[in-house]
Copies of this chain bind each other. A is one copy, B any other.
Amino acid sequence: MSQIAAPLSIARSADTIPSTQPLGRILVVEDDPSVQKALKRLFETEGYAVEVQANGQSALESFQAAPPAVIILDLRLPKLSGSDLCKVVKAQSPELPIVVLSATSDVSDKVLLLELGADDYVTKPFSPRELLARVRTALRHTTRTATVSMVSFDGISVDFKKMEVQRDGKVVILTAQEFKTLQFFVQNADRVVSRDELLNEVWGYQNYPSTRTVDNHILKLRQKLERDPASPVHFRTVHGMGYKFVR
């Protein structure tokens, strides 16, 4: 494991707008400008939206204005210490994952982190990939759907664990995005959802494809799941509003 900061990802250039999956917004709280810069670049190349705050006070304000998906937190901070910030945030949003960056000496006490409510920690110097992996794990965790793992209606059954859909006993293959869309619809059955809401919830804050994209996905879902795609029963259009899923 000889990780040096150098050749992490050459694949995507740092300044192209990442058009990848719905990752989240990351709040980096760090006062050292060079670390700031490195972290910002690291996460941005991976497709996250990054906000950097240099001190605890401003970080707290930022968090309260718009909570991010994860916080990466240096423990040594001016104005409001990392541990205090951690406590405040955890009191307000227990589910928000916090990854602490610390110098080895800071964590002489294992109690500290637990009490703070931090979810994970990485000691400096850390490998970029390690930090990424931890952030991803942290995200996956909170995002984990603790809801039902199967639904069925009208001869269609959806198994969220297997990520498999069957119609009349035959497996129907859905793409990742189609599956996610279906999942959202199932979880929001009988409610009218706007295209914008779908884009936000299914596609994520990062990507803003044109709203026509949504229509196309609905089209595919209808073709694959409706008995008569021309007159859909489950994936209904609500003209001028959006769509409504009915079991």
Contact = CB atoms under 8 A, between A and B. Distances in A.
14 contacts: A1-B207, A2-B21, A3-B23, A3-B140, A7-B205, A9-B146, A13-B94, A38-B111, A41-B117, A117-B128, A129-B210, A133-B196, A161-B190, A163-B192
Interface in A94-120: 94-95, 101, 104, 107-111, 113-115, 117-120
Nearest to A138: B129
Interface of A: 1-15, 18, 20-24, 32, 34-35, 37-39, 41-42, 45-47, 69, 94-95, 101, 104, 107-111, 113-115, 117-121, 123-130, 132-134, 136-147, 161-163, 175-177, 180, 183-184, 187, 190-192, 194, 196-197, 199-202, 204-208, 210, 238-241, 244
A42 B196 contact: no
Contacts of A42: 114
A183 B241 CA distance: 14
* Copies of the protein in its oligomer: 2
A162 B204 contact: no
Nearest to A196: B136
Contacts of A196: 133, 136-137, 140
